Chains A and B, each alone.
Chain A
Amino acid sequence: MARWPKPPEGSWTEHFQLGTEPISYEDSISPEFYELEREAVFKRAWLNVGRVEQLPRKGSYFTKELAVARTSVVIVRGTDDEVRAFYNVCRHRGNKLVWRDYPNEETSGVSRQFVCKYHGWRYDLDGACNFVQQEQEFFDLDKADYGLVPVHCEVWAGFIFVNLSRQPEQSLVDFLGPEVTKLENYPFDQLTERWFYRGTVNANWKLYMDAFQEFYHAPVLHAKQTPPDWSSAAQQAGFEAPAYTISGPHRLVSTAGIHPWTLPDNMLKPMERITRSGLFGPWDKPDLAYDQKAAGINPAGCDPWGLDSWQIFPNFTILVWGQEWYLTYHYWPTGQGSHVFEGTLYFVPAKTPRERVAHELAAVSFKEYGLQDANTLEATQTMLESRVLERFPLNDQEVLCRHLHKVVGEWVDEYKKLEEAGV
């Protein structure tokens, strides 16, 4: 007996017309598919590269390495406060413009202009070339023709996105669509305490997306993270989401929550009880006034409500917790069988040492779970690559995995058609 009502079709999967047959994971192991995906997905979709708080003042900048597109971009707040993005390359002889110590590592800082380390060409924060070393030695060179190459850059709800296509097919807001953009009513700008994690995972980027867009795995893979009484109850119950939403290429899973402080001691770890915190966040919520309905959050109206996790195409997740904090995930492909995973936690800044300690347990818990997820993916990738199996059954709680692979396939097919048509 389902704890939560399913759509009239009998399942979420049928409701969203995604097909119920076992699916192929060829899209996660084929080098040829990966090459197509780079062009069809990562050079056409809007990609989130960070938040405006990472650019606190005029001249603040950070670089983003985009191995999937074999490029690097620099994002900068100009003297007019506009956020702009440029390819991170000097117009003179193609040297990477902004880097420190290691050319392939990301960097950030504040600057009045960018100066190439090689021959000293200089660029204003708006990309204009303003100085050429020994300019008189060049032939008919007009600095006005040698500004930095701009990258399409738009900001939504404080999230900075870039688009690497020559001309994006949609504006950022049109790309995000009417459901995702409701989230702009969430007060992201108040949650500025930032924890930034990064690791390399030897698995296709979509496998990690899959791991975090279904919770069917949670009672099993993470069973030992909780006391035995909790784990057996969780496995007994299994996982059911009260609501899934699909909006264009994007998808949401919403979950019901618990009030840990109402649980008996045999259901909690002692550390959770004494610090009043845990994986789901601090037990004592900050004052965060916002209109849940306007933000489209908790669509099933759960009380208590657990979390809403929006998977924003292609590789970005915004996960808002019922305990009034949020996190983001980014999955940056580096090959068909590897990617860089970034997890960023955002809290309302701790006002007291006690609040700060509660944040610490939430963050440390996040990593304990994340390590289990990441390591399992490597075990999955290697055996998918063995090609012993070709089709894999997905259940109704894995509906969003089905959707991701379908959408990626559609973008690749569309790209191939455009290429064939010579567009």
Chain B
Amino acid sequence: MTAPMLPAEFADLEPFASTWCLPTESERFAQRLAVPMDEMQAFYDAITPRFEEAMAYCDTFPLDNMPEDGVNLMHLLYSMIMVSFPVECWGQGPVPDTGAAYLDLLVEPGP
């Protein structure tokens, strides 16, 4: 049993943490291309109803000094945004008709 990555209040999201608590956009984008749609849908369905509570929890900390489990929760919210495009628009991981294009995010703000 590994130590939980998320705050105790969000234990229900813990099963998604090891897959989706990723600190950079490039990791999250790669994960979106790698994970099957049904798993992204399950993650989306689990986290969207918890958004307000997760946001309220994160907002109790200053952005530049968040505890590690709070930062992990932020990364999970970023991944929620990442999978929302496959789930809400595309029905697939990649953006349709963009096979030859790439756009790397080389500088991004923390946390």
A residues with CB within 8 A of B: 193-202, 224-225, 269-271, 274-275, 341, 343, 349-357, 359-361, 363-364, 367-368, 370-372, 374-376, 378
Chain A residue with the shortest CB-CB distance to B96:
A224
Size class of the B contact interface (CB-based, 8 Å)? 35 or more
B residues with CB within 8 A of A: 25, 29, 48, 51-52, 55, 58-59, 61, 63, 66, 70, 74, 77-78, 80-82, 84-85, 88-90, 95-109, 111
10 tightest A-B contacts by CB? A353-B58, A196-B107, A375-B101, A271-B84, A374-B101, A199-B103, A371-B98, A375-B98, A371-B101, A269-B88
Contact partner of A201 among B48, B88, B101, B108, CB < 8 A? B101
Q: Are B81 and A378 in contact (CB under 8 A)?
A: no
Q: Are A353 and B61 in contact (CB under 8 A)?
A: yes
Most chain A CB within 10 A, of B29, B61, B104, is at: B104
Q: Are A357 and B74 in contact (CB under 8 A)?
A: yes
Give bound CA distance, A225 to B90, whole Å: 8
Q: Are B97 and A372 in contact (CB under 8 A)?
A: yes
Contact partner of B98 among A271, A355, A374, CB < 8 A? A374
Query: What are 23 of the A-B contact pairs (CB < 8 Å)?
Result: A195-B108, A196-B106, A198-B106, A269-B88, A270-B88, A271-B81, A274-B48, A275-B51, A343-B103, A350-B109, A352-B59, A353-B61, A353-B63, A353-B74, A355-B63, A356-B63, A357-B55, A364-B85, A368-B89, A371-B98, A371-B102, A374-B103, A376-B97
Q: Are B84 and A370 in contact (CB under 8 A)?
A: no
Q: Are A349 and B109 in contact (CB under 8 A)?
A: yes
Give bound CA distance, A356 to B111, whole Å: 9
Give bound CA distance, A200 to B63, whole Å: 33
Contact partner of A360 among B63, B70, B81, B88, CB < 8 A? B81
Known contacts A270-B48, A275-B51, A355-B63, then 16 further A-B pairs from the complex at CB < 8 Å, ordered by chain A residue: A193-B109, A194-B109, A196-B108, A197-B106, A200-B102, A224-B90, A269-B88, A353-B70, A354-B58, A354-B59, A357-B78, A360-B81, A364-B25, A367-B105, A371-B103, A372-B95
Q: Are A195 and B74 in contact (CB under 8 A)?
A: no
